[in-house]
Chains A and B, each alone.
Chain A
Amino acid sequence: DAGVTQSPTHLIKTRGQQVTLRCSPKSGHDTVSWYQQALGQGPQFIFQYYEEEERQRGNFPDRFSGHQFPNYSSELNVNALLLGDSALYLCASSLRTGRDLTDTQYFGPGTRLTVL
């Protein structure tokens, strides 16, 4: 059973560019959340997708956008990249309608984005 997968593993971009990161959830999961983790910090919640819609959003500008596909996979898009966007971007999947009301999240290994 494949866990959460993310691509690419590493990415280098320059300021002002746009980037797309991809996530495939754990088999059977229908909800995808995205987090940004700066060096030495805990992950910060960006947004969550369920049924192809953004359901919740953290304190991130609208340069950060996403999409969820019918197969539950998801993309994170960041426009007009800033140096401060350099971070590890984590995807987490969960089953919203599961019996476990706490919706335990399973994280992928992340995509390391470097903005020069």
Chain B
Amino acid sequence: DAKTTQPNSMESNEEEPVHLPCNHSTISGTDYIHWYRQLPSQGPEYVIHGLTSNVNNRMASLAIAEDRKSSTLILHRATLRDAAVYYCILRDVRAGNQFYFGTGTSLTVIP
């Protein structure tokens, strides 16, 4: 049921911006795009979500393509604490509020 495609791993230097891509070519009009991250030995943590417009919060920004078939999570200044697995998830609000996770992108932050 995972309907997203993400790179398995990415690296970033500390204090530089990070752009984490996600492809979701089969997205429907009622699918919200969610991003969660999972730090080692912890449960997933909410990062950001959006429907059509770009979104910003204190943790990150979410850029959504005009056709909604892809999105990018942007961490403006990576810190060592941002090293985690990042999951891009589509959630259809008509089908219930369970999340279907893929394998995510493992982000390594280099000091």
Contact = CB atoms under 8 A, between A and B. Distances in A.
Contact of A109 (B36, B43, B100, B102): B43
B99 to A, nearest CB: 6
Interface in B62-86: 85
Contact of B97 (A44, A94, A109): A94
- Tell me the interface secondary structure of chain B in the complex: loop
Contacts of B1: 45
A105 interface: yes
Interface residues of B, number: 25
A42 B2 contact: yes
A110 B1 CA distance: 22
B97 A31 contact: yes
A58 B95 CA distance: 12
Nearest to A46: B98
A33 B98 contact: yes
A43 B45 CA distance: 12
A107 B38 CA distance: 10
Contact of A43 (B41, B44, B49, B91): B44
Interface in A37-75: 40-45, 48, 55-56, 58
Interface of B: 1-2, 32, 34, 36, 41-46, 49, 85, 87, 91, 93, 96-104
